[in-house]
């Protein structure tokens, strides 16, 4: 079964990314990625740009509402996600604990919706 590890960063973490995203920071992420691939659990992943680059769109009463910045007004913002193929949520929590994102921000673990439902989207 597949799980999403959603990585949330603090503003400080995003700042580091903009200014000085060098080793050992990057080294930890690279090592984590390698460990995921070698363990045969990696499905896919991607990182997002910093939250200020986001734009939020809503349609309300036929009118467009466009707003600068991310949807949620919280301190910790979504920074990226990883999709893993794992036997259980226990294993997913273990990988989340190893994720370099867990020691500063937070990592939310959530199962992907059942495949039948996802196939409903994609046809």
Looking at beta carbons only, is 54 or 80 nearer to other proteins?
80
Least distance from other proteins to the Cβ atom of residue 122, Å? 29
Alpha-carbon distance of 89 to 21, in angstroms, equals 31
Least distance from other proteins to the Cβ atom of residue 49, Å? 24
Looking at beta carbons only, is 70 or 80 nearer to other proteins?
80
Alpha-carbon distance of 73 to 41, in angstroms, equals 33
Cis preceding-peptide flag for 100 (omega within 30 of 0): no
**Would the CA dihedral through 28, 32, 34, 35 be positive or negative?**
positive
Footprint of other proteins on this chain (CB under 8 A)?
A: 23-24, 27-28, 30-36, 38-40, 89-90, 93-94, 97-98, 100, 103
Alpha-carbon distance of 70 to 102, in angstroms, equals 21
Looking at beta carbons only, is 40 or 62 nearer to other proteins?
40
Least distance from other proteins to the Cβ atom of residue 48, Å? 21
Least distance from other proteins to the Cβ atom of residue 111, Å? 12
**Would the CA dihedral through 85, 95, 90, 82 be positive or negative?**
negative
Looking at beta carbons only, is 70 or 89 nearer to other proteins?
89
């Amino acid at each position: 079964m597949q799980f999403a590890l959603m990585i949330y960063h603090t503003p400080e973490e995003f700042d580091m990314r903009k200014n000085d995203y060098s080793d050992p920071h990057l080294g930890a992420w690279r090592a984590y990625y390698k460990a995921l691939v070698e363990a045969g659990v990696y499905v896919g992943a991607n990182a997002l740009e910093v939250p200020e680059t986001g734009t939020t769109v809503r349609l309300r009463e036929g009118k467009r509402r466009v707003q600068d910045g991310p949807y949620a007004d919280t301190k910790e913002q979504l920074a990226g996600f990883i999709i893993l193929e794992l036997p259980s949520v226990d294993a997913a929590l273990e990988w989340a604990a190893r994720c370099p994102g867990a020691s500063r921000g937070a990592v939310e673990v959530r199962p992907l919706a059942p495949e039948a439902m996802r196939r409903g989207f994609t046809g």
